[in-house]
Amino acid sequence: MDTLKTRELKPYRLQLLEDQNYLCPLCNLELLPEDAALDHCHVTGHVRQVLHRSCNSAEGKILHWAGQRSKGDDPVEFVGNLLGYWQEDYTDNPIHPTHDKPRKRRKRR
Which residues are catalytic, by number?
39-40, 42, 56, 59, 96
* H or E element in which residue 59 lies: helix 53-69
Which among 81, 84, 86, 12 has a CA at the least distance from the CA of 46? 12
- How far CA 87 is from CA of 54, 56, 80, 84, 99, in Å, comes to 25, 24, 11, 5, 19
Count CB atoms within 10 A of the CB of residue 95: 9
Cα–Cα distance, 64 to 79 (Å, whole number)? 11
